[in-house]
Amino acid sequence: MMAGLREKKKEQTRRRIAEVALRMFAERGYEAVTVNEIAEAAEVAKVTLFTYFPTKECLVLDVVKDDTAKIVTERRPGQTPLGALRAHYGAFAAEGIREVDVDGLLTRIRVISASPTLMAGLHQTQAGQRYELAAALAGARGVPDGAYELLDQLMAAQIGAVLMTLQEGFFQRLGAGTPIAEAGRRLANEVELAFDLLEHGFTGQ
């Protein structure tokens, strides 16, 4: 019981820090806000802030990380890597979409887009996720010790490009005022199309 309360309190603190930081970044720009200012506004010690967010970039970018490698490595027995990824993103479009904070998401996108530092950090994060996915795909083929080959790198790159394209379309619709339910329905259809292409290739028809 007490452990559960402690975890809930930690999550509330983490969320409060992240929300305060995002609001300050949106108002003044990412580069103009210091960690000390965020800690003071969130009413936590600086050391506490760094306990939850090891770097300033993490205050914004932690939320956008998507562990595709974990989805592959934790897939159910008999499920293919692409099948696991299709199921994960299809479930998000059908159910997880309801939990999306549209205003917060759009604010985060604006903050990232306006900051060269965050854009560079985002690209670095995506590259790291691509390498991790390549290793997971290799593991699914029986390649030992998390190694990966060109085949895995190429497949990870294709998956990453597909997911980024799906994400961009989803964000653009939300930014244009499309209701979240409609954006989710369209995303669900696009997930199926995208993974059909990944599994079967493009025939040109």
Contacts (Cβ under 8 Å, ≥6 apart) of 48: 13, 39
Q: Could you tell me the pTM of the whole model?
A: 0.86
Domain closes at, from 25, 43, 59: 59
| Percent of all residues in the chain with a pLDDT value above 70, rounded to a whole number | 96
The structure tokens 């079967």 sit at 200
Within a domain: 205:
no
SS3 171: helix
Looking at the structure, do residues 93 and 146 belong to the same domain, yes or no? yes
| pLDDT confidence of residue 54 | 94
- pLDDT grade, residue 96 (50/70/90)? confident
Closest CA to 33 of 46, 15, 21, 47: 21
Q: Is 193 exposed, middle or buried (0-12, 13-18, 19+ CB in 10 A)?
A: exposed
- Domain of 85 in residue numbering reads as 65-200
Q: Check: CB of residue 114 under 8 Å from CB of residue 29.
A: yes
Within a domain: 30:
yes
Looking at the structure, do residues 69 and 161 belong to the same domain, yes or no? yes
The per-residue pLDDT for range 26-35, each reduced to its tens digit, is 999 999 999 9
Q: What is d(CA 81, CA 64) in angstroms, rounded to the nearest whole number?
A: 21
The per-residue pLDDT for range 133-155, each reduced to its tens digit, is 999 999 999 887 667 789 999 99
Q: In the chain, how many domains are there?
A: 2
Q: What CATH code is carried by the domain that includes residue 7?
A: 1.10.10.60
| pLDDT confidence of residue 76 | 94
| pLDDT confidence of residue 129 | 93
The structure tokens 């060269």 sit at 116
